[in-house]
Amino acid sequence: MNYRHAFHAGNFADVLKHVMLAFVIDYQQQKPGPIRVVESHAGAGLYDLASAAAARTSEWKDGVGRLAAPFAPEVEDVLKPWRDALDVLRAGHGATSYPGSPLLCQQLLRADDRYIGAELQPETFRALKSALGRDARMKAFQMDGWQALRANIPPKERRGLALIDPAFEAADEWQALARETTAAWRKWPTGCFMVWYPLKNPRQADELCGALADAGPATALRLELMVDDLDVANRLAGCGLAILNPPWTLKAAADALLPALAERLARSSRAGFRSEMIAG
């Protein structure tokens, strides 16, 4: 495994994933009971967009770097939880910092909410532990992501979400993603499951979303953002989220957000988006 997210932090795929993550957490916190976030592949947690790794690709410039100018009010409403968390984090860590999902959750969670994240790579795990500090709400474990899902689902809080975002480097990653997510959802059928995937071969995305919909959730949503022609070689041109048990407001939020992101983050005229219910 040689994937290093520091090269990609803050890119268009991070923007989509993190904006939707912040929106879902904000929605779930409208009820007073605690929630738990379980993340299968956590990463380092905090990135510096001025680092040598980030400068090697500068992908953030076509992602978060394009979002400074405001959007229409209905789009800003969707972006607000993410923007607010990003502002707080940068006030503490510097203007060039960018949170991975663990640090984003740390900014968003309330005092009685909890987070569990798994990271297998030793160096990345050490960076994650350091980034989280001694926050009792936040627990990181050095373990395989699929084992982490099996061990920590269902959580005792019963409410919350699972974020699943593997590196897609193993030959059977797509099959494992469908299998492990389905098994985890069956153990926690009231949880929200957010599954990120790259858009390179549309057939793989179709098969994954079909398998997740067939698992039996009452509702499931498929969101995709394309910033370029999917046939462009050696560069990610699109990504998606399959969301089981999404908040009922998420479809309308995505319908406002995705066209705006596709226009703002486009690298070519082939940019586009997709938003459809695949169950329910």
Report the alpha-carbon distance of residue 176 to residue 27 in Å, rounded: 29
Q: For residue 2, what pLDDT is reported?
A: 39
- Segment 88-115, tens digit of pLDDT: 999 999 999 999 999 999 999 999 999 9
Task: Decide if pLDDT at 240 tops 60.
Answer: yes
Q: For 111-133, what is the mean pLDDT? A: 97
To which H or E segment does residue 49 belong?
none
Q: How far apart are CA 12 and CA 207, in angstroms?
A: 23
Beta bridge partners of 201: none
Chain segment 51-91, per-residue pLDDT in tens: 998 888 899 999 999 999 999 999 999 999 999 999 999 99
User: 152, 193 in Cβ contact below 8 A?
Assistant: no
User: Average model confidence (pLDDT) for the chain?
Assistant: 95
Give the model confidence (pLDDT) of 152-190 as tens digits: 999 999 899 999 999 898 889 999 999 999 999 999 999
Alpha carbons 194 and 55: distance in angstroms, whole number = 29
Residue ranges and CATH numbers for the domains of the chain are 5-279 (3.40.50.150)
pLDDT-above-70 percentage for the chain: 98
| Structural contact between residues 164 and 196, judged by C-beta atoms closer than 8 angstroms | yes
Note the pLDDT of residue 4: 63
Question: What is the layout of strands, in order, in the sheet containing 160-164?
Answer: 138-141, 114-118, 36-39, 160-164, 192-198, 238-244, 220-226, 272-279
Q: Would you give the DSSP letter of residue 215?
A: T
When comparing pLDDT for 171 and 262, which is higher? Answer: 262
Quote the percentage of the chain above a pLDDT of 90. Answer: 89
**pLDDT on residue 124:** 95
Please give the helix or strand (H or E) that residue 1 lies within, else none.
none
Q: What does the pLDDT average to over 122-132?
A: 96
Kindly tell me if the per-residue pLDDT of 3 is higher than 60: no
pTM as predicted: 0.96
Mean pLDDT value across residues 42-50? 95
Q: What pLDDT does residue 262 have?
A: 98
